[in-house]
Amino acid sequence: MAEAWKQWEGQAVSAELRLGPYLGGSPRGAVFKLLSDDPNLQSAAIKLIAQESPFAENRFASWRFASTLSHPNLIRIFQSGRCQIGDARLLYVVMELADEDLSQIIPRRPLTEIEARELLPPVLDALEYLHANGLVHGSIQPANIMASGEQLKLSGDGIRRIGDAINDPGDYDPPESVSSTAGDVWSLGMTLVEILTQRLPTWDRDAAGEPETPKSLRAPLFDIALNCLRRDPTRRWTMTQIAERLRPAVTAAQRIEAPVPREAAPGNTRYLIAAMILFLASTGFASWKLLIHPSREDARVSHVTPKPAKRNLPEPRAVDLPPTPPEKKPAVLSDERTPVGSVAPNPAAATPAPKPVAVAPAPAPKIPAPTQASSGVVHQVLPDVTQKSLGTIRGTVRVAIAVSVDSSGHVSDATIDSQGPSAYFANVALEVARQWKFAPGRAGTWTVHFEFSPDGVKASADPSGP
C-alpha cells in the first residue's frame, strides 16, 4: 500500500496545496508533507482519508470545528476540505507537522516517573481547554501525544463534541458508549499505565471488573491511574483532582524558608522533550519516519520530521510580577525570533495558585483604532481573555509582536518579538495581531504592543522597520 500512496507525491489537492514526500499511511488513508506557497504552511502535513471510509463524515465534521481551536498544547488544524485525485474521492486535513510521538518510544523503554509527571500537566491543560468548550479529545493514547520543538502537544484531528457516540471502541476507550469528559480521564489512565509499564492494563470490556492498576507504580502516579480507571464514570477523578494530586506536599516551613521555583525542579517538560529526541536519535530513527497506529475510525498516523527547536511554552499559571517590571529582550531561538521563557510561582504564596484554564479565543471584538502618534493602524483587535485568566496576573504582562505589513495594509506574517513572562498570553496576542490592519502605503515591519493586567488588555503599535 505504501508504494501506491507514494505514487501520489507531487499531486495537487487544490490550486494552493500539493502533496510532498509521503510520510506513512494505511489502506484507508495517508499522510504527506505539505507543499504550499503559503508562508504559514511551510511546516505542515496533509492527511487524506477515503470519502467512503467508515465514519469519514464524522471525522470531517471534527476537523471543521477543531480548526477554530487555539491552545499551545494542541496540534493546530489549519484547514480541511474535499478533493479528488484520479478516481479517488478524498477528504483532507492540513495540520501542524510534529516531530515525534510517544508510541515510538514506549516499545523500547518505559518513561521514568519524572518524565511521566512532567508529561501530565500539558496534557491536562489541553484537556481542560477542550472540556471547557464542550468538547472531548476522544483518543488519548501514546500515538497522539507528540513532540513539536520543545513542546508536548495532543493530536487534534479526532476532537468531538461531548455526547457524541463512541463508534467501534478501541483499547483506550472507556466502557460507556458516549463521549464525555470522564471518558478522556479513562483514556488518560490507560495511557499512563502503558507509558510507565510498556503494556496496557488487562481488563474485560464485557465483564463487571475494572482494569488492574500495577502495584509497581508509585504514588502519586498509582493513585492517579487507579482513580482514572473506575468503571463508574461518576467515580473517576476530574482534571482538577489529578492536577492537585500531582502537586508535591510542601510544609509551611518549606514555603517560608526554602521556596523553590518550578524552573529549579529536577525535571521539566523541556527535559522530557530532550529525552525523547535523544532517545530517538540513539535508536536510529530516520527523517520522515512515520509509524502507523490503527484506530476505530481510520488508521491513526503519527507524522515526523526533523526541524529546529522552537520554544517551550509552559502551562498557564499565576503570573507574579513587580508592579512595573523593566522591559528585557528575551533570548531568541532559530529564525522565528521566539523567546524561551516561563514564570515562577510566587514564593510567598501559602498555597499554589489555582491554574487558569485557557479558553478558546472567541471571535475577537473589533474596537475603534486608538489615536496613536504613529497613525497607521486602521483596525486593531484585542485578545478575548477571560477575567479568570487576567485575575492570575499580579502587575502587568507586556508582550510585543513583530508583524510584517504588505502594501495593502494587511499583516502577512507575525512572530513573537518579546514574550514576557507568560507564553499563554504571548500566544493569544500573536493570534489576534495577525488580524490587525494598517493604512495602505504603510508597508514594512511594525511592533504591536499588548499589556495584560487584572484591569483588562491594552494595545498599541509603532513602526519598527522599512
Above 70 in pLDDT, residue 58?
A: yes
Q: What is the mean pLDDT of residues 19-38?
A: 86
For residues 150 and 255, membership in a common domain is answered with: yes
Write the CA distances from 453 to 219, 390, 395, integer angstroms.
Answer: 38, 6, 6
> What is residue 144's DSSP assignment?
G
Residues above pLDDT 90, as percent of the chain = 36
Residues above pLDDT 70, as percent of the chain = 72
Q: What is the mean pLDDT of residues 292-305?
A: 37
> 240-244, 308-312, 416-420 — which is least confidently predicted?
308-312
pLDDT category of residue 114 using cuts at 50, 70 and 90: very high
- Please give the pLDDT value at position 268: 52
Report the distance separating Cα 326 and Cα 132, nearest Å: 35
Which one has a higher pLDDT value, 306 or 87?
87
Write the CA distances from 254 to 245, 348, 349, integer angstroms.
Answer: 18, 11, 11
Q: What is the mean pLDDT of residues 382-404?
A: 85
In total, the chain counts a number of residues equal to 466
* Residue 13, amino acid: V
For residues 224 and 331, membership in a common domain is answered with: no
For residues 260 and 375, membership in a common domain is answered with: no
Above 70 in pLDDT, residue 320?
A: no
Helix H or strand E segment including 148: strand 145-148
Q: What is the mean pLDDT of residues 301-308?
A: 38
Above 60 in pLDDT, residue 303?
A: no
Which one has a higher pLDDT value, 349 or 333?
349
Above 90 in pLDDT, residue 419?
A: no
Question: Which among 227, 246, 217, 228 has a CA at the least distance from the CA of 121?
Answer: 246
Question: Is it true that the peptide bond before 326 is cis, omega within 30 degrees of 0?
Answer: no
Burial group, residue 447, by CB count within 10 angstroms (0-12, 13-18, 19+)? middle
pLDDT, the chain, mean: 76
Above 50 in pLDDT, residue 335?
A: no
3-state helix, strand, coil in the chain (%, to 5): 25, 25, 50
Is residue 87 within 8 Å of 57, Cβ to Cβ? no
For residues 258 and 122, membership in a common domain is answered with: yes
Above 70 in pLDDT, residue 283?
A: no
Q: For residue 254, tell me if it sits in a domain.
A: yes
For residues 107 and 232, membership in a common domain is answered with: yes
For residues 116 and 202, membership in a common domain is answered with: yes
Above 80 in pLDDT, residue 45?
A: yes
Above 80 in pLDDT, residue 269?
A: no
Q: What is the mean pLDDT of residues 28-37?
A: 88
* Residue 410, amino acid: H
pLDDT category of residue 249 using cuts at 50, 70 and 90: low
Q: For residue 300, tell me if it sits in a domain.
A: no
Q: Which residues pair with 193 in a beta bridge?
A: none
Report the distance separating Cα 156 and Cα 413, nearest Å: 24
Q: What is the mean pLDDT of residues 310-322?
A: 41
Q: For residue 278, tell me if it sits in a domain.
A: no
Domain-terminating residue out of 222, 247, 264 = 264
- Please give the pLDDT value at position 290: 28
Question: Which among 331, 333, 325, 341 has a CA at the least distance from the CA of 427?
Answer: 341
Q: Which domain holds residue 153?
A: 100-264
For residues 353 and 335, membership in a common domain is answered with: yes
Domain-terminating residue out of 43, 66, 98 = 98
For residues 127 and 259, membership in a common domain is answered with: yes
- Please give the pLDDT value at position 132: 92
Is residue 400 within 8 Å of 426, Cβ to Cβ? no
Q: Record the cell numbers describing residue 98, joined without a space.
A: 510534529
For residues 104 and 153, membership in a common domain is answered with: yes
Q: For residue 409, tell me if it sits in a domain.
A: yes
- Please give the pLDDT value at position 311: 39
* Residue 369, amino acid: A
Q: Record the cell numbers describing residue 180, joined without a space.
A: 464525555
What number of other Cβ atoms are within 10 A of residue 70's Cβ?
17
- Please give the pLDDT value at position 262: 39
- Please give the pLDDT value at position 213: 93
Q: For residue 279, tell me if it sits in a domain.
A: no
Q: For residue 273, tell me if it sits in a domain.
A: no
Q: What is the mean pLDDT of residues 49-54?
A: 85
User: For the residues of 376-398, what is the DSSP string, one character each?
Assistant: -EEEEE-----HHHHTTEES-EE
For residues 111 and 66, membership in a common domain is answered with: no
Total number of domains in the chain: 3
Write the CA distances from 272 to 10, 269, 276, integer angstroms.
Answer: 36, 5, 6
> 268-282, 324-338, 427-441 — which is least confidently predicted?
324-338
Is residue 336 within 8 Å of 313, Cβ to Cβ? no
- Please give the pLDDT value at position 271: 52
pLDDT category of residue 64 using cuts at 50, 70 and 90: confident
Domain-terminating residue out of 37, 63, 98 = 98
Report the distance separating Cα 413 and Cα 435, nearest Å: 10
pTM for the model stands at 0.56
For residues 380 and 355, membership in a common domain is answered with: yes
Above 60 in pLDDT, residue 146?
A: yes
Q: What is the mean pLDDT of residues 255-277?
A: 47
Phi, psi (degrees; rounded to nearest 5) at 390: -65, -30
pLDDT digits (tens, 9 = 90+) for 395-410: 888 999 999 999 888 9
- Look up the CATH number of the domain holding residue 189: 1.10.510.10
Q: Which residues pair with 153 in a beta bridge?
A: 146
For residues 91 and 177, membership in a common domain is answered with: no
Report the distance separating Cα 162 and Cα 152, nearest Å: 24
Q: Terminal CA-to-CA distance of the chain, rounded, Å?
A: 51
Q: For residue 450, tell me if it sits in a domain.
A: yes
Q: What is the mean pLDDT of residues 118-142?
A: 93
Is residue 137 within 8 Å of 127, Cβ to Cβ? yes
Above 70 in pLDDT, residue 278?
A: no
Is residue 93 within 8 Å of 109, Cβ to Cβ? no
Dump strand ranges (E) for 16-101. 17-26, 29-36, 44-50, 77-85, 88-96, 100-101
Q: For residue 311, tell me if it sits in a domain.
A: no
Phi, psi (degrees; rounded to nearest 5) at 144: -105, 10
